[in-house]
Amino acid sequence: MPDNKQILVTRSSMPPLDEYVAEIAPLWESHWLTNMGEKHRELERELESYLGVDDIALFVNGHSALECVLEAMQLKGKVITTPYSFASTTHAIVRKGLTPVFADIKPDDYTIDPSSIESLIDEDTCAIVPVHVYGNLCDVEAIQDIADRHHLKVVYDAAHAFGVRLNGASSATFGDAAMFSFHATKVFNTIEGGAVCFREPGFRTKLNQWKNFGITGEETVEYVGGNAKMNEFCAAMGICNLRHLDDEIAKRKMVAERYWERLDGARGVRTCLPKEGVTPNYAYMPVVFEDEFGSTRDAVFDALAEQDIHARKYFYPLISDYGCYAGRFDSSATPVAKHVAARVLTLPMYADLAVEDVDRICDIVLSQASE
């Protein structure tokens, strides 16, 4: 039987209630609840400042943001991406009529391996959609070099990488565009939401039209767009949460460091430490259990669950093994990704996770190792 309180894999960060109430109070005067109102515009400005970008477009969620940018770029053909990601990445590609081609991942940080990209490029390839996994940044220089030589667009799935920097440069500045998710489980959330940062001047207008049914004027509709606008209540939550974000990340850092202190170096346990030059956001705590551990990832998962501690097999299965794509892909073509997916477990990770709870989790994890 569980001997302590339930611990979920994550817990949403929220501002003080009175702060949020004060932020949304003006909506009862304006009655402007959606369609890019005052709160929406304010959050855009604040995010541009925080991320160090000139342009950003907000969306109802990150998935819609990714679909919209792929469509607005008018891409056609094949897109090289990773099978080691959340369903949204590949689903967005497929739903926009594009063909995903899976490259393998690097064994140290689980991001797409640039060395596996180039051999997959052919005359039908139009873009690369890499994923910053767990907040670990892709090898952005190598990917951009490949894209430049082959005249390909680069659209980053940066859902995990809000606030992450490489040598001072924001993750929002890499590639032709970067998509962020502001889902409730993310380091920065707007309850539900997402955004696209982009390089092309004037692209904001196109994105705003695409996410509003393709309406371009009072009596003109020029695109077959969708409806993906962020509402004012979500924008207000983002405004509040952004004020507290640096403190939240600092708390996450303490949690992460405790995990690494306890688990890093244990036999058969592979953690994922930040690389040199990277300012991390401590979004996730992935642990890979190699054969030397003497027990399986699933055994650790079950042992934690018995104590009402909810870890997550994230990402498992590989996207290339999803039932909805049966017969289309061969996951054995990406052996590193297949190996990691079968062994990875993301442990509970959030700003208010107590050190005593981290220790309890680590005790259970390490107790599963064979002598």
**Chain Cα centroid distance, residue 312:** 15
pLDDT band at 241 (very low <50, low <70, confident <90, very high): very high
Residue 4: which pLDDT band, with cuts at 50, 70 and 90?
Answer: low
Mean pLDDT (whole number) for 320-336: 98
Say whether pLDDT at 296 is over 80. Answer: yes
The per-residue pLDDT for range 68-123, each reduced to its tens digit, is 999 999 999 999 999 999 999 999 999 999 999 999 999 999 999 999 999 999 99
pLDDT of residue 1: 46
- Decide if pLDDT at 129 tops 90: yes
Domains annotated for the chain, with CATH where assigned, are 17-239 (3.40.640.10), 245-367 (3.90.1150.10)
C-alpha 333/C-alpha 12 separation (Å) is: 36
Between CA 237 and CA 190 the distance in angstroms is 5
C-alpha span between 194 and 156 (Å, rounded): 13
Task: Please tell me the predicted confidence (pLDDT) of residue 201.
Answer: 87
- pTM of the predicted structure, to 2 decimals: 0.96
In this structure, are residues 275 and 135 in contact, taking their beta carbons and an 8 Å threshold? no
How many CB atoms within 10 Å of residue 292?
A: 12
User: What does the pLDDT read at residue 5?
Assistant: 86
CA distance 221 to 98: 24
Q: What is the pLDDT of residue 371?
A: 62
Helices 87-95, 62-72: crossing angle, 10 deg rounding: 40
